[in-house]
């Protein structure tokens, strides 16, 4: 006898959906994991760029050392004291020309034959339709000697002519290590002049400091010549938007670099507000720490010390600012420490700048 329908039982599986809370929990977990992944990827990218930048600096250092073996000096066509603010020719570009060629040079004491050869180099380049940099005349602030450079950018890489003898190029940068000024126009606020720039993997120009003396304080001032001159750095250290990252280096107003100053001030880097043209105490302190060996440095005489090497190469690192004020040592309250009076070599490790030293 069949059962009535009301007594029949049908087994059905009930499908449970996700509640709103469960969905939100899952989404939160995904967001957290994505954030962790992005941080990890960013860290890996920065590490890779730092390694690539170090390789660039090592390559440049090898070229400088090979040059010194042949010529008993480290590269730089003219003395740093002749570079002035460095807007037309930075210290790094001064070295690149010496390593790669593409120039002729003479000074007030050069024989007529050297002057004639340099001017012929100019004429030949113009006749070939090559771009020749406008008259590059410089005066050495230390000696008063006038220098003239004839620069043909398209010939960089042919190798230098030194004391009448041609040499193969000492440095052959990769395309990614050079930033060219295709427009042949100056843009000083962006750190651009008419010559190529040696750049790190963040596309920020690289600084080159070369020792010029063996006695005196570490950093030169107007009154006292030092081991290293701050001349030739202003193109980069006063830029308002340097490199592809486009960050300002000058300090006023806001952050910027601890080794630069107000981009509106005249003179070389470190021009203090009084207009004397001297580096400020802050710049002297940090540059001296960067350039000296910690074992031979007396904090009670912060302007003096034993150089760590004959030259120093500096990349601004991931933040794109040299010795950034928004980087470095932290105070007890968790803010960046802007007090430089007690700065030490240990504090240098708190910055993301990549530094490499070379020479004896």
Looking at residue 263, its pLDDT comes to 42
Residues of the chain falling short of pLDDT 70: 1-18, 39-44, 182-184, 251-254, 261-278
CA atoms within 13 A on the CB side of 341: 1
- 191: number of CA atoms within 13 Å, CB side? 34
Query: pTM of the entire structure?
Result: 0.84
Query: How far is Cα of residue 55 from the mean position of the Cα atoms in its chain?
Result: 14
pLDDT score, position 89: 96
For the chain, give the mean pLDDT: 87
Say what the pLDDT of residue 36 is.
Answer: 74
How wide is the angle at C-alpha 353 spanned by C-alphas 36 and 355, nearest 5°? Answer: 135
CB 232 within 8 A of CB 97: no
Query: What pLDDT, on a 0 to 100 scale, did the predictor assign at position 270?
Result: 41
pLDDT tens string 20-57: 787 788 888 888 777 777 766 666 678 899 999 999 99
Q: How far apart are the first and last CA of the chain?
A: 110
């Amino acid at each position: 006898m069949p059962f009535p329908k009301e007594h029949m039982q049908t087994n059905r599986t009930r499908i449970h959906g996700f509640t709103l809370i469960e969905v939100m929990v899952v989404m939160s977990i995904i967001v957290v994991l994505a954030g962790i992944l992005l941080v990890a990827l960013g860290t890996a990218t920065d590490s890779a760029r730092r390694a690539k930048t170090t390789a660039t600096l090592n390559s440049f250092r090898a070229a400088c050392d090979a040059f010194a073996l042949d010529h008993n000096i480290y590269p730089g066509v003219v003395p740093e004291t002749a570079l002035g603010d460095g807007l037309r020719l930075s210290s790094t570009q001064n070295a690149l020309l010496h390593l790669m060629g593409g120039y002729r040079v003479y000074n007030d004491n050069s024989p007529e034959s050297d002057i004639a050869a340099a001017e012929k180099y100019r004429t030949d380049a113009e006749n070939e339709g090559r771009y020749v940099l406008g008259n590059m005349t410089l005066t050495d602030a230390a000696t008063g000697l006038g220098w003239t450079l004839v620069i043909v950018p398209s010939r960089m890489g042919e190798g230098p002519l030194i004391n009448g003898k041609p040499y193969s190029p000492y440095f052959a940068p990769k395309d990614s290590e050079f930033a060219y000024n295709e427009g042949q126009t100056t843009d000083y606020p962006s750190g651009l002049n008419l010559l190529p720039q040696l750049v790190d993997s963040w596309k920020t120009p690289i600084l080159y400091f070369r020792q010029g003396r063996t006695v005196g304080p570490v950093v030169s001032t107007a009154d006292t010549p030092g081991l290293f001159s701050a001349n030739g750095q202003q193109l980069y250290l006063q830029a308002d938007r340097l490199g592809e990252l486009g960050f300002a280096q000058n300090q006023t107003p806001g952050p910027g670099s601890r080794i630069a100053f107000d981009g509106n001030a005249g003179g070389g880097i470190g021009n203090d507000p009084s207009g004397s043209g001297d580096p400020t105490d802050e710049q002297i302190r940090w540059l001296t720490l960067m350039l000296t060996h910690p074992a031979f440095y007396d904090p009670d005489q912060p302007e003096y010390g034993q150089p760590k090497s004959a030259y120093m190469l500096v990349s601004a690192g991931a933040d794109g600012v040299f010795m950034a004020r928004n980087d470095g040592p932290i105070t007890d309250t968790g803010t960046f420490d802007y007090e430089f009076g007690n700065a030490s070599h240990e504090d240098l490790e708190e910055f993301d700048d990549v530094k490499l030293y070379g020479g004896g």
